Amino acid sequence: MSGVGLWDFALRVYGAPGVAPACLELQDTLGADVPFLLFAGWMDARGVALDAAEIARLDREIAAWRAEIVRPLRAIRRRLKSGPAPAPGPQSEALRDAIKAAELSAEKLELERLEAIGTLYPGGTGPQLAAHGNLRRALAHYAGGSPDAGAEAALAVIASAIAQSPGEASDASEK
């Protein structure tokens, strides 16, 4: 199978059993950025190793977008689940769906930015899936050090899905 870009890779991995809840747990407990975690796994699959300093630098590249666009959309979408009136209800569900679509579009733009940055790195000698080093370093970045057992368990679910994902990641020029 020819290589896949980051968006397709992210959809495939996120859609694997158990990955969505694992990602959301890391998002809610550590403030982890799910698109960035998937980017780190994609870089592992491309065989590109990133050190902790590079992980932090790349995260800063998209931090403003996440803080000013993605998180506010997420907060509004989540707030509409419980109120204020007229939410939740049939009248507010269409608005919530529109905000959810906008949030997904914002995350897709983030992934496109990360893919553009990621393709500037030459491919490695082969996938680094055994160690999932980038994914682990990204998790440690969000945890502010060594992640706890719950975060490690969530990481294991994501790493397993990446390892079982068919095809290999590539840069966009190989499509």
CA distances to 50, 75, 84, 102 from 99, in Å: 34, 10, 16, 5
pLDDT in tens, 105-120: 999 999 999 999 999 9
pLDDT in tens, 40-63: 999 998 889 999 999 999 999 999
Average pLDDT for runs of 10 along the chain of length 175: 78 98 97 98 91 97 98 97 92 95 98 96 69 92 96 96 69 40
Entry pTM: 0.90
Distance CA 13, CA 7 (A): 10
